[in-house]
Amino acid sequence: MTAYDPDNIFAKILRGEIPSTRVYEDDDTLAFMDIMPRADGHLLVIPKTPCRNVLDATPEQLAAVMGTVQRLGHAVLKAFDADGVTIQQFNEAAGGQEVFHLHFHVLPRQEGDRLRPPGKMGDMEEIARQAEKIRSAI
Ligand code: AMP
């Protein structure tokens, strides 16, 4: 498998080299809003240490990330009064991965809704408002 690239966009977010709308962090993980949200409240959870995806992650990285995914799953349920939560994760380009630092998508869902199509920039002011709701619900 290709080596981890320390200049991927999420590594730059971790180092504070590019902006992000952070909602939660602990010693091992960071959660921030997706800038092309497929649902209101769409966020990403990443480990603070390098790995491309599930295929090269250590059990410790996976455990830390999943703990934060669960915590944020509860937070988005509460913040958006959602009926469910979709958790998505892609491995390598053929598996749908575009950014090669392990990340899990957390998407609050309402009964009967449809995810918006990928690749469309969100309204950053609206995303900031949604992030504040999530922070308050943690
Ligand atoms: P994937 O690797 O297929 O899971 O897709 C990468 C995800 O990262 C997409 O949902 C993008 O909208 C999101 N994304 C890309 N760049 C940024 C960024 N700078 N800040 C937040 N989310 C991003």
**pLDDT over 90 (residue 33):** yes
The residue-averaged pLDDT of 51-55 equals 98
The residue-averaged pLDDT of 63-88 equals 98
Which pLDDT tens digit goes with each residue over 124-137? 999 999 999 999 99
Spatial contact of 124 and 35, defined as CB atoms under 8 Å apart: yes
Return the axis-axis angle of helices 59-79 and 124-137, rounded to nearest 10°: 100
The residue-averaged pLDDT of 18-45 equals 98
Specify the ligand 1 atom closest to the Cα of 19. 19
In 3D space, the residue among 138, 131, 59, 68 whose CA is nearest the CA of residue 103 turns out to be 68
Spatial contact of 83 and 110, defined as CB atoms under 8 Å apart: yes
CATH of 9-137, one of 3.60.15.10, 3.40.50.300, 3.40.50.1980, 3.30.428.10: 3.30.428.10
The residue-averaged pLDDT of 25-34 equals 98
The residue-averaged pLDDT of 7-31 equals 98
Specify the ligand 1 atom closest to the Cα of 20. 20
Using pLDDT thresholds of 50, 70 and 90, give the confidence band for residue 1: confident
Spatial contact of 122 and 107, defined as CB atoms under 8 Å apart: no
Residue 4 beta carbon below 6 angstroms from any ligand 1 atom: no
**pLDDT over 90 (residue 63):** yes
Question: Which of 18, 91, 98, when mutated, tests ligand 1's pocket best, judged by the most ligand atoms within 8 Å of its CB?
Answer: 98
Question: Which of 23, 45, 99, 130, when mutated, tests ligand 1's pocket best, judged by the most ligand atoms within 8 Å of its CB?
Answer: 99
Residue 115 beta carbon below 6 angstroms from any ligand 1 atom: no
**pLDDT over 90 (residue 70):** yes
- pTM surpassing 0.85? yes
The residue-averaged pLDDT of 42-57 equals 98
